[in-house]
Structure formats: C-alpha cells, structure tokens
C-alpha cells in the first residue's frame, strides 16, 4: 500500500478524497492536514461531515496536522491537495521538494513544467515531470487536474477532437453549489434563483480545455487550435455540473458517427484497468430529457460524463449541440486527482 496524505482534508473536496480513499486497494490514508483552526483535533471533531455516507471509521481518530510539510509523516509518498488556490500556490512547491503532489487546486495548473492531466485525454503530459524535477531541484513533483467544468467538457470533446476538425465551440454551464465549497454561496443568494457569474471560471474553461487537447513540443504545450467561448452560471443544484455545448466543425456533422465516437471512446486508464477508471468515460443517452444532475451525476461512481440531446444544430452549417452532466467533486475534483495518482503509481513510482 502507498501511504497518502490529504491537505484541506476537512473541506468539501477533502471529504470526497477521504470517501474515495477509505477503501482504496493501493492507497492508505496516513495523514490529514487542514488549517490551524482544525490542527491538533481528532478528524471527527474538526470536521462537519457533508457526505451522504458515514465518515469512515478509519479516519475518525486521526489527529489533524498543520499543513506545513515539516509536519507530514515521512512515510507518505503522495499528498492530495484540496487547498484554496492562493494557499496552494505557496505550499505545494514546498511539498514537491519531497513528496508527489496530486493537486486539485487551480494555482499551478498552467505553470511551465507542471502537467495538467486527464488520464484519458493527455497522459503524455506526465513526461514533463523529469524537467520539472530538474529545473526546481525537487525529489518529488506536482501533477494537477483541471477545473471541474473543464474536466467534463474535455472528456466529451476528446473523441470529437481526435476524429473531426473543430472550428469553434460555445459552452454554457449550470454549476452546482458544492463547487463553491460549503460556505461559498449563501442560501439566500441561490434559492429560487440563479447567479450568472462565477469568478475566473470562464477564463479557466477556455484556457485549460485548449491546453489539455494540445500537444507537447519538448516540454512546451502547444494549445489546440480552435476557438472556445464559455459562459458560467451557478444554479440551485447540490452536486453535478450541467453544460450546454455548441460545436461547429469544418465538415458536415454526422450525428450517428459523432455519437458512436463518443460512446466508443476509451483511454489509457481503461486499458490499464486503473481502480477509479470508469468502464466508459462518456455515456451517450438517447432519452429526450437526459442527462439530469440528480440522475446522471453518479454514473460509474461519479467518474463518467453523461451526454444527451446530441443533435444537429439547424441554425448553423456543420454544427451540432449536446448537453452533458459531470460530478463536480468526484470526476471534477477528488476522483480526478486520485485517477492521476493511480496512473503515476502504475507508471512512475
Ligand atoms: N468544490 C469543487 O467542486 C471543486 C473545488 N476545487 C478546488 O479545491 C480546493 C478546495 O475546495 P473546497 O473543498 O470546495 O473548499 P472548502 O472551503 O470546503 O475547504 C477548504 C479546505 O482547506 C483548508 N484551508 C483553508 N485555509 C487554509 C489555510 N490557510 N491553511 C491550511 N488549510 C486551509 C480548510 O481547513 P479548515 O476546515 O481547517 O478551515 C479546508 O480543509 C479549492 O482550490 C477549490 O478551488 C476544484 C474543483 C472542484
Ligand atoms: N469554480 C468551480 C470549482 C472550483 O473550485 O474550480 P477551480 O478548482 O478551478 O478553482 C465551481 O464553482 O464550480
């Protein structure tokens, strides 16, 4: 078993990490860190548990430590980070001196030599690790996963990008409140309402998606060459981001072929049989009223994106549109970091 630690362990994403790691066949939770508000307390006393399942027995008595790497158990090999981005930017490089950091925070995603990875989409970006270690003189390294809306979108776009020529994409999101953390959106702001702004989200979706679908030239990422415009909105759903996607190709959109390409899509995690890999990363539904967050967010344990209403766009030439749902704190956060770590454990450690 590989010993792992979780930073930000008391938070919304930290709790997902614990839920997903509790019975993991290869990883064993050895350390939990949070802010000085929580450090020194037993995990069960430091945490207001938000998950539907009970808090795992194995973590209840673990004493929460300060996030400083000096406090981290030296037997830990992988540290999962679900820290606020500004704090992650300071702490993650400190951890990378000695530990593998699988980060879910946005701070380091677009930095040179730091792989931003979805294992089904761009596992080859892990090749940057050698340069990262050499350039920083680190024994460990940092690998990041994308923003929650970006992950679901990019999983569905990868098979299209590989098989057709994309000209431009518009995407409009309807994002769950859990995406902002437990204290992120007051109920008075979101009940009976919708908030048409999520700070920084549109910029992240636009840049990260093109980066993930791009190619490596040495250690430089050459972004994919199409236009992408995002509009992001918060809706009163607890978990599961929904996105309406509009795609213009260079050629006529053959709907049956596009559906088959998406449904047949498999990547390296499926080939390697990684524990958290969904059998099918993209599920295509035919019902007129799917996908819906309540019904589809838990597809393959929350690790698959579900697509529906895939149809020709009658208003524009060579165009089609669809709706997708992805679980924001599983495939969009903790599950994504864990899948990255499973790939690293199989191929690098
Ligand atoms: N929620 C989501 O869907 C997604 C979130 N993310 C990213 O994951 C990260 C965590 O998000 P989320 O779990 O929602 O946030 P929460 O606010 O729910 O949790 C934040 C965690 O970080 C800890 N923390 C806060 N400040 C400090 C500090 N100064 N020093 C040490 N620890 C600190 C908190 O500890 P304490 O309890 O002691 O205060 C808590 O454990 C963020 O970077 C977010 O952007 C990414 C994708 C999706
Ligand atoms: N901003 C996302 C969640 C998030 O924290 O994303 P990021 O990891 O890119 O900061 C949401 O509100 O749903």
CA of 148 relative to ligand 2 center, distance in Å: 6
Residue in the block written with tokens 């000096």: 70
The Å distance, Cα 219 to ligand 1 centre, comes to 30
| Mean per-residue pLDDT, 304-329 | 98
How large is the ipTM? Answer: 0.96
Mutate to test the pocket of ligand 1, among 8, 19, 51, 237 (most ligand atoms within 8 A of CB): 8
Give residue limits of the domains in the chain.
2-147+333-347, 148-327
So what CATH class is 2-147+333-347? alpha beta
Q: Tell me the pLDDT tens digit for each residue of 38-67.
A: 999 999 999 999 999 999 999 999 999 999
Query: If you count DSSP H runs as helices and E runs as strands, how many of each does the chain have, helices first?
Result: 12, 14
Count how many residues are written for the chain: 349
Architecture of domain 148-327: 2-Layer Sandwich (3.30)
Count of alpha carbons within 13 angstroms of residue 183, beta-carbon side: 4
Residue 193 C-beta-side C-alpha neighbours within 13 Å:
11
Exposed/middle/buried for 311, CB within 10 Å: 0-12, 13-18, 19+? Answer: middle
What's the pLDDT tens digit per position in 125-150?
999 999 999 999 999 999 999 999 99
**168 phi and psi angles, rounded to 5 deg:** -155, 155
Nearest residue by C-alpha to atom 31 in ligand 1: 35
State yes or no: pLDDT of 104 exceeds 90: yes
Q: How far is the centre of ligand 1, averaged over its atoms, from the C-alpha of 185 (Å)?
A: 14
Instruction: Over range 262-282, report the average pLDDT.
Output: 98
pLDDT digits (tens, 9 = 90+) for 216-257: 998 899 999 999 999 999 999 999 999 999 999 999 999 999
Q: Is 9 in the pocket of ligand 1 (CB under 6 A)?
A: yes
């Amino acid at each position: 078993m590989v010993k792992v630690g979780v930073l930000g362990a008391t938070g919304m994403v930290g709790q997902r990490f614990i839920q997903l790691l509790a019975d993991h066949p290869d990883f064993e939770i050895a350390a939990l860190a949070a802010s000085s508000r929580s450090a020194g307390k037993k995990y069960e006393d430091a945490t207001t548990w938000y998950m539907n399942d009970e808090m795992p027995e194995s973590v209840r008595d673990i004493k929460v430590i300060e996030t400083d790497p000096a406090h981290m158990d030296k037997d830990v090999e992988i540290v999962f980070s679900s820290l606020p981005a500004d704090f992650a930017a300071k702490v993650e490089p400190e951890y990378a001196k000695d530990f593998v950091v699988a980060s879910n925070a946005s701070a380091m995603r677009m930095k040179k030599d730091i792989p931003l990875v979805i294992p089904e989409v761009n596992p080859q970006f892990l090749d940057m690790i050698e340069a990262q270690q050499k350039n920083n003189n680190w024994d460990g390294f940092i690998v990041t996963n994308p923003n929650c809306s970006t992950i679901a979108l990019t999983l569905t776009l990868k098979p299209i990008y590989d098989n057709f020529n994309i000209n431009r994409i518009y995407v409009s999101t309807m994002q769950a409140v859990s995406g902002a953390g437990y204290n992120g959106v007051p109920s008075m702001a979101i009940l009976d309402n919708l908030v048409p702004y999520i700070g920084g989200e549109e910029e992240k979706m636009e840049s990260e998606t093109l980066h993930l679908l791009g190619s490596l030239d040495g250690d430089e990422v050459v972004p994919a060459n199409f236009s992408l415009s995002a509009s992001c909105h918060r809706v009163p759903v607890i978990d599961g981001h929904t996105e309406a996607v509009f795609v213009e190709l260079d050629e006529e959109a053959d709907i049956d072929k596009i559906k088959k390409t998406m449904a047949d899509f498999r990547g390296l995690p499926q080939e390697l049989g990684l524990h958290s890999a969904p059998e099918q990363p993209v599920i295509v539904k035919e019902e007129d009223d799917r996908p819906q967050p309540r019904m589809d967010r838990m597809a393959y344990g929350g690790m698959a994106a579900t697509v529906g209403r895939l149809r020709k766009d009658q208003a524009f030439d060579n165009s089609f549109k669809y709706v997708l749902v992805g679980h924001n704190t599983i495939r969009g956060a903790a599950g994504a970091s864990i899948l990255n770590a499973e790939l690293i454990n199989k191929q690098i450690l």
